[in-house]
Structures are given as structure tokens and as C-alpha cells.
Structure 1
């Protein structure tokens, strides 16, 4: 089995290579885990391979905030140094410093 490590981490702000949106990563899947219906909804000429990390983003564009599921090959670092304006960011992260979000501490057992 070929193990790949995620290039980006939770709390990192990234932008999409093709579409005009950016977001903060809140979860990472080692490979594609969404539905086949979702897979087929991606335009064929842009459809990435399934055997790479996929990222869950609190995303935003000029019009709205939403959750996005994006392949590693379609992401790049966002070097703006600006926070993401997604309203749910405060539920997951407790601070934003130097271009990086920090996760809220969790109580677990």
C-alpha cells in the first residue's frame, strides 16, 4: 500500500487552484471518502484521482460561506495572512495568528 502524507494541515488557510474561493482546513481524509454521486458531479476535465488526500474546508467566496470537499491537487497555500470569514470558524478554532488557525481544546476520553 502506498502511503501519502497530507501536504496541508488542520487550521491552515488555502485557496482553490481553479475556482475563486479560499478556506480553512478542519478535517483531512487520506483518500476520497465522499459519495460516487459527488464524484461524478465534478466536471470530468477537473476530476482528480481518488487516491490522494481530500480536505474539508470552511470555505468562502465573494457571495457566500459553505463547506467544501477538495482534493490536494486542487489546493494551494493562501499567503494573504487574512482570516477566513466563515461564521462556523469560531466553533472549531479559538484563535488566528500568523496566517494559521488554532483548534479549540477538546475534552475527550
Structure 2
């Protein structure tokens, strides 16, 4: 089992698709349905044996929850704030502009 590359509260972006988000939970390996996994086109389907991240995600049109493999994420260095409507339920922002988890249970 690998150590997760990204931490809770970190802002990341998808390598292939135009969205970004804040990590709010991490699974050490794939932990979703086979139906969900099989719906990913085979040519971009990630390996299950890697960390998968739950994100408060957003794109130019909407906000949503995303589940993304580590291989498809990279650090977002834009410095832009995230505007997800659930942000304040899970995170506070510290004096350095970093997102810090509140003391809440995710699942």
C-alpha cells in the first residue's frame, strides 16, 4: 500500500479534465462500486491499487463531489480560492489561506 501524495485540505486539479477541488477524504485503494469503475472509458481507467481522493470539486459551471485516482491529480498552484457550497461545513481557512479540516466526521 502506498502513502497518499495529497493531504486533506489540499487544493488539487484533474490532469485530464477541467476541474479542481479540495481533498476532504482519502481511500488507500479504490473503494467505490464496480459499476462506477466500469463506467470509466478503458483507455483512461486508472489502476485500483492506488489512493483515491474524495474532492469538493468545481468547474466553470458547477460544484459537485468527485472521486479521483491519485494518478489523475496534480497540485493546483493557481492560488485561487475554492467556492464549493459545502466548503464551510468541512474546512476553515487559516491565516496562510490554507484549508484546515474542522473537527467533523466525514463518514
For structure 1, list consecutive stretches of 5 or more residues without a partner in the other structure.
Answer: none
Match of 1:57 in 2: 55
Alignment of 1:73-92 (within 5 A): 73-92=71-90
> If the length of structure 1 is used for normalisation, what is the TM-score?
0.91
Q: 2: CA distance between counterparts of 1:99 and 1:21?
A: 20
Match of 1:7 in 2: 5
Match of 1:46 in 2: 44
Match of 2:103 in 1: 105
Q: Following TM superposition, by how much is the alpha carbon of 1:99 offset from its aligned partner in structure 2, in angstroms?
A: 5.2
Q: What's the CA shift string for 1:66-105, capped at 9, x where partnerless?
A: 0000000000000011221100010000115545310113
Whether 1:93 and 2:67 are equivalent positions in the alignment is no
> If the length of structure 2 is used for normalisation, what is the TM-score?
0.92
CA contact (8 A) 2:90 2:104 kept: no
Q: Judge which range, 93-102 or 74-83, deviates more.
A: 93-102
Q: Following TM superposition, by how much is the alpha carbon of 1:64 offset from its aligned partner in structure 2, in angstroms?
A: 0.3
Equivalences, count: 105
Tell me the C-alpha RMSD between the 2 structures.
1.5
* Runs of 4+ off more than 6 Å: none
Q: 2: CA distance between counterparts of 1:84 and 1:23?
A: 7
Change (3 A) 1:38 1:101: same
For structure 2, list consecutive stretches of 5 or more residues without a partner in the other structure.
Answer: none
